[in-house]
Structure 1
């Protein structure tokens, strides 16, 4: 195995020279967030002088096991460690060119699970086929990354509710300071992410500390509305204490509890919230704390306070179907769907007809999935696009509509199905258990090429008009991709006039459906 050594500002790192790319895995970008640094902003790691081997992925951030996804993809759970989780991975094409565009990926997982080491996120093909440098990042999750303790432990912990986002900023600073040594251009960084990763991208666009660290953004199936107020986040912190049977005056004991104990309490809170349909099952999410996140991201976009970088944002056609697959899937019939639409809409019959007009599956389960996708992803994305397009013309939107054949077609064009296509990793281990055996390579070519063109040139590269509220031009990605004007017109006009989905704030999903968001 050929070795490649690159000097960084912290010390030399020793990666591998693959067939198409140089690969550097598990590079530390922050000090171990343990001991006095638990719930604190990331600090620089100690420098080193000898070449540090970075040929194996670092462990993921501590997280509960996701048994549904393990079964779906056939993967063992990620190894985890609180001590050494803050690492990143770099794929860069063989030398011969410098100042390549940089694409920094933030994984999803409901701010609870996930890792930059997921096989679907291997950057080899994206880097080598499209001449970009790819970086994937680990950040703190769950209570370790998003438990707000400012009201319980004082100003020293005022930013504790956003240290997961601050980890991402620390990784972007590492990219700014070091990526040139790997052939990348620190002045041309595209930040992209999906689900909670997309929510992170949009939050970073609203954070002063992140300004100037990236120059374009892609938000896949995200929302600029999933944040908590300090009051709401403090209530979650009190729920964690209650799960641990700790009185408030002993909140300082959270600093020294074993990780397993903290994860147990965290999961207890998550399950209670999901059972009552509260806040999309996202008790741990970015907090509008003032110092780090001054205002909710959508408010920042609407007021012009968000970074005006070029943006691609979109969704899959059937986002909600992923959350209706598994042993706890609800039993839904026509009467239940009719009752739900009666509750949600002023004009339920018109609403049902509008949803039937845009969904390939109009069964009761298909309509329930469509309503979930509308509330959680499509409508928030539309509001984001409208707000950002009012400030810049460099905004594009898409709809991923190709339907998976896996699991007897139950998944459809569900949440996260676009990921192996974006990274052009249809043959990654387990991917076909999600996409089915017939996933079209031409779709992976189209999607990865559009994202890479955006990174290179600041636009998607194909005949794809920018978004505006008059035409709502939308690229529909399918076996044969095509441009469509306002594909959600019927649903959009109906929901704009008779129903406005709540945000992820305290009443996010209450009374709607017990669900989770990835």
Structure 2
């Protein structure tokens, strides 16, 4: 490996050069104190080493608060860092750029788990992976709940927008094309992509979008965001005179409050983006009516999404038949509920299909269908099945990204070899082609209302015209909002 030095608008960076690739790691893209909006990074003097990841944002997922993922060498509130993976050689001229937004239920995760070296080399694209504030630090509405207007709404989304502004202003220094940027994410990252496509603050910052399992229906409305923030205030014994305490208390106290609030909720997460009328539209209905960014879209979901949540501790999403039926009845009324339920057998397989459709599959497809009315759109369904859990939520990540080791082989359902490796390579090639050209290539027909052609990813791919047509018709383009005020 060799040291590669470049000049950027903020200062000199020294990255790591290896065969066909240079990695620039741990680059600060913004600066922010707790519960403040991200601001610009001060320029540095001398050469900054970009040879190791920056710290990821503090996080807590589940009931136990662990100090090592709050403040340590690898985690901390100084976490607004990104990583740039640049291929060497390949096409002449500026490289198109993909910005990866990680998932993790808006409570966990970070950029550092995603080694984009293979994707950058194979696709001849620059890949940028970003951190953003999550959980109580990024997605709790203290401002409206406590009358504290100094705290911005949706801080985590503001971080994502700041990262895209950094890409716009700086990626040319790395050989990237700021006029050809595609945002891509999975789960909470996919929901973030859908929200950025609606945000007036993000317009013009990207030119393509890839959504992998998740859309606008799985966030909170304003009423719910206020109610949950008041739960935090009660746990922390806060009122509107306590802004300074909120900004200076031990991070562990905030995370303990997040754990307390999480235990009080059913089929919900204790922190999520909400419709604020600023970064986002003011309501879900407004979001559905708001024109999406006029960019190409590649979107999809896994067939058996909800199986992951059957296995996880707690109940952050509805998975039980009675809960699913109750949500449908409360939001759609008895007639449409009956029509929808009539298309799912009252069996384990039917429950998995209904839970998957309600949470991820239908909302992602409905978003794509609305977008396709005026913009080029492609849609897929991931059907490759793990022998124990089927085509569960997140299984596609184990194909797309080069996670290694015995544990990941067990999660994947086998080693990353043979037909599994070929499936992952196809998925990466389609995304890279989309980043370069605005379409996935491979004679993949657009998703259009007349035919609704969907690519079925499996060990051998196929195409289907309007799959599960009876179920799709019964939903009639509507989405359940699990995060509606309650």
Fold conserved (TM > 0.5)? yes
Query: Corresponding residue for 2:277?
Result: 290
Alignment of 1:367-406 (within 5 A): 367-392=350-375, 394-405=376-387
Q: Which residue of 1 aligns with 2:470?
A: 490
Deviation at 1:106, TM superposition (A): 0.2
SS in 2 for 1:228: coil
Shift of 1:289: 2.0
- Look up the match of 1:3: 3
Tell me: CA distance 1:204–1:337, structure 2 relative to 1, closer, same or farther (3 Å): closer
- The answer to whether the Cα contact below 8 Å between 2:185 and 2:193 also exists between their aligned partners in 1 is yes
Deviation of 1:390 (Å)? 2.0
**For residues 370 and 493 of structure 1, what CA distance do their matches in structure 2 show?**
15
How far off is 1:326 after superposition? 4.6
Output aligned runs, 1:9-48, within 5 Å: 9-31=9-31, 33=32, 37-48=33-44
The two structures have a TM-score, normalised by structure 1, of: 0.83
2:225 pairs with one of 225, 228, 233:
233
Q: 1:156 aligns with which of 146, 150, 163?
A: 150
**Unaligned runs of at least 5 residues, structure 2:** none
Deviations 1:363-393, CA, capped at 9 Å, x for gaps: 62x433222211111121232122212232x
C-alpha offsets along residues 131-183 of structure 1, whole Å, 9 cap, x if unaligned? 010110000001111122323243322xx231101111111111111112222
State yes or no: 1:431 paired with 2:408.
Answer: yes
Deviation at 1:15, TM superposition (A): 1.0
Q: Distance in 1 between matches of 2:386 and 2:72?
A: 25
Change (3 A) 1:104 1:209: same
How far has the Cα of 1:196 moved from its partner?
0.6
Q: Distance in 2 between matches of 1:179 and 1:429?
A: 36
Q: How many Å apart are 1:399 and its aligned residue? A: 0.1
Residues 206, 295 of structure 1: 8 Å contact kept: no
**What is the CA deviation profile of residues 435-494 of structure 1, one whole-angstrom value per residue up to 9, with x for unaligned ones?**
021551110111111111101111110122111222111000111111110112121123
Q: Which runs of 4+ in 1 moved over 4 A?
A: 65-68, 77-80, 326-330, 336-353
Deviations 1:199-253 (A, max 9, x none): 1111111112211111000111011123334333222211101112334543542
- Asked whether the 8 Å contact 2:232–2:261 carries over to 1, the reply is yes
2:397 is matched with which residue?
A: 419
Residue pair 2:84, 2:126 contacting (<8 A) in 1 also: yes
Q: Are the structure 2 counterparts of residues 241 and 348 from structure 1 closer, same or farther at C-alpha, using a change threshold of 3 Å?
A: closer
**Matching residue of 1:311:** 297
* Conserved? CA contact 1:104–1:135, under 8 Å: yes
Answer whether contact 1:316 1:401 (CA < 8 A) is retained.
yes
Q: For 1:208 and 1:313, how far apart are their aligned partners in 2? A: 21
Q: CA deviation at 1:422?
A: 2.5
* Residue 103 of structure 2: aligned partner: 108
Structure 1 residues 43-442: aligned runs within 5 Å: 43-65=39-61, 80-95=74-89, 97-118=92-113, 121-151=114-144, 152-157=146-151, 160-274=152-266, 277=267, 281-296=268-283, 299-300=286-287, 302-304=289-291, 306-326=292-312, 354-355=343-344, 364=348, 366-392=349-375, 394-405=376-387, 409=388, 411-423=389-401, 425=402, 427=404, 430-439=407-416, 440-442=420-422
Q: TM-score, normalised by structure 2?
A: 0.89
When residues 363 and 252 of structure 1 are mapped into structure 2, their CA distance, relative to the original with a 3 A threshold, is: same
Q: Matched residues in 2 for 1:295 and 1:99: separation? A: 38
The alignment of Structure 1 onto Structure 2 pairs a total of residues equal to 471
Determine whether 1:476 maps to 2:456.
yes
Task: Give 5+ residue unaligned stretches, structure 1.
Answer: 331-335, 357-361, 511-518
CA RMSD of aligned residues (A): 3.0
Residue range with higher mean Cα deviation, 201-210 or 148-157: 148-157
Partners of 1:290 and 1:148 in 2: CA distance: 13
Supply the distance in 2 between the matched residues of 1:86 and 1:503 (Cα, whole angstroms).
30
